[in-house]
Amino acid sequence: MSFLLTLAFKNLSRHKKRTIFTTIGISVGIALLIWMDGMLRWADNESKRNLIRYEFGNFVLSKVNFKLDRDNFPLDKLMDFSAVKQIINKAEKEDLFCSPRTGFKVVLNNKRGFGLFYLVFAVDPVRYAKTLYVAKDIVKGKWLSEESMGIVISKNAAKDLDVKIGDTITIETKTKYGSFQSVSVTVEGIFDADDPSVNRNQAFVSYKFSDTFFQTESSASEIVFRSVNEKDEPFLSKMKDFINSIEVKDLVFSTWQELGADFIVLSKTKRAGTKIMIFFLFIITAIGIINTMLMAVFERIPELAMMRALGMKDNFIIFLFLLEATGIGFLGSTLGLFMGFFLNLWGVTKGLDFTGMVKDMDFGYRTGTVFYSEWNPDTMLLAFFFGIFCSVIVSILPAKKAVDITITDALHYQ
């Protein structure tokens, strides 16, 4: 065994350049896998965090028939004020952040008449600021107060409508009772949320504003709940018990996973994408190793024949090649692990800025345009062993090739 190890090691140094190039091929594949996985993992987790922090909290309470038609935000399926108040009081005793909101499908127009379709939420400004993060992301002006009669819009909307703080825009929508309403409103704040979906679709007014102009009467289309630690349980169970105990009927909880189903589907698809990446990594590794091992086999056929003639069994010859492949795989995987570690370190601390490239592009993730990375020790370990495993697996065929040829032919092979 020790002889085989010595020989395998020395054989690796026989063609240093070839070994180095194969090693680099494997290491680049491993490093890219680690880095890409770190980035995708960050994007996945950041998207989940942003779905909770900006869009849905951990769960959303609404009327059953509202949930069925949520895409249209119908104003005739709202929870009335007394029910909303009762639920909020209970939730706040349970240490849950919660806030009612009422959504309106609107067209926002600037003074030149250019319009954008948006979803305006009428919110309780204080509670909404505690529950979701958008109030933290105000970049110009200020967040709403309970008495505000202005609007908070996103940086995207401000740019598209060409408005700044203090400018007036017009909201066109239907009131709770179905009459058309067109209201001029002053831009009070501009936000730049980490969730691009919020930047693209949402604007905010106070309940005072909506009660005055849209006849909402402080009723809510939904109540958003976020737990302190952003975990769904056990608060969801507690709130379910509570809802069952009160007399408000026809209410239903929707989790952020249900409401963000489009992202969950995308996330699963991206995971499949990672598997495709692993497959390509396997192909790159396999081609490099097969090429190296086949060259090693063909140039050493007479030498191997001599070893077989002297009594070395075929299994040992195969084992020798597998040891060499393990050596190359180990070198490549170790180097790849280091490269992947440093790429990830850069990803975690600096990130990759796609701002110039994808400013207005929706590529599914609820993240900003600077792509960071996340530490992934499990993938690092997996990639390390995967590199070695691939090297060994793809070397079996070339190694068997070495003993397929008869000794007498092999001795005179040129």
Partner 1 sequence: MNIVECTALCKDYILGKNVVHALKDINLFFKEGEFSAVVGPSGSGKTTLLNLIGCLDKPTSGVIKISGIIIKDQNKDRLADLRRDNIGFVFQSFNLIPVLTAFENVAFVLSLKNYSKKEINDRVYSILEEVGLKGLENRKPSELSGGQQQRVAIARAFVKEPKIILADEPTANLDSDTGREIMSLMRELNLNKRVTFIFSTHDKMVMEYAKRIIVLKDGKIFSDEEKRL
Which residues sit at the interface with partner 1, rule CB under 8 A?
A: 2-3, 6-7, 10-11, 13-14, 302-303, 305-314, 406-408, 411
Q: Rounded to the nearest whole angstrom, what is the least distance from the CB of residue 395 to partner 1 in the complex?
A: 18
Residue nearer to partner 1 on the CB measure, 8 or 34 = 8
Amino acid at 383: A
Amino acid at 123: V
Residue nearer to partner 1 on the CB measure, 30 or 328 = 328
Q: Rounded to the nearest whole angstrom, what is the least distance from the CB of residue 400 to partner 1 in the complex?
A: 13
Residue nearer to partner 1 on the CB measure, 10 or 136 = 10
Backbone angles phi, psi at 79, to 5 degrees: -85, 135
Residue nearer to partner 1 on the CB measure, 382 or 411 = 411
Residue nearer to partner 1 on the CB measure, 127 or 300 = 300
Q: Rounded to the nearest whole angstrom, what is the least distance from the CB of residue 22 to partner 1 in the complex?
A: 17
Q: Rounded to the nearest whole angstrom, what is the least distance from the CB of residue 292 to partner 1 in the complex?
A: 16
Residue nearer to partner 1 on the CB measure, 11 or 50 = 11
Residue nearer to partner 1 on the CB measure, 14 or 159 = 14
Q: Rounded to the nearest whole angstrom, what is the least distance from the CB of residue 2 to partner 1 in the complex?
A: 8
Q: Rounded to the nearest whole angstrom, what is the least distance from the CB of residue 392 to partner 1 in the complex?
A: 21
Task: Report the distance separating Cα 169 and Cα 185, nearest Å.
Answer: 5
Residue nearer to partner 1 on the CB measure, 162 or 404 = 404
Residue nearer to partner 1 on the CB measure, 4 or 252 = 4
Residue nearer to partner 1 on the CB measure, 14 or 164 = 14
* Residue among 256, 75, 80, 78 at smallest CA distance from 176: 75
Q: Rounded to the nearest whole angstrom, what is the least distance from the CB of residue 289 to partner 1 in the complex?
A: 20
Q: Rounded to the nearest whole angstrom, what is the least distance from the CB of residue 321 to partner 1 in the complex?
A: 14
Q: Rounded to the nearest whole angstrom, what is the least distance from the CB of residue 26 to partner 1 in the complex?
A: 22
Whether the bond between 302 and the residue before it is cis, its omega within 30 degrees of 0, is no
Q: Rounded to the nearest whole angstrom, what is the least distance from the CB of residue 403 to partner 1 in the complex?
A: 9
Helix (H) or strand (E) run with residue 207 in it: helix 207-214
Q: What is the SS3 assignment for 243?
A: helix
What's the longest Cα–Cα distance across the chain? 99
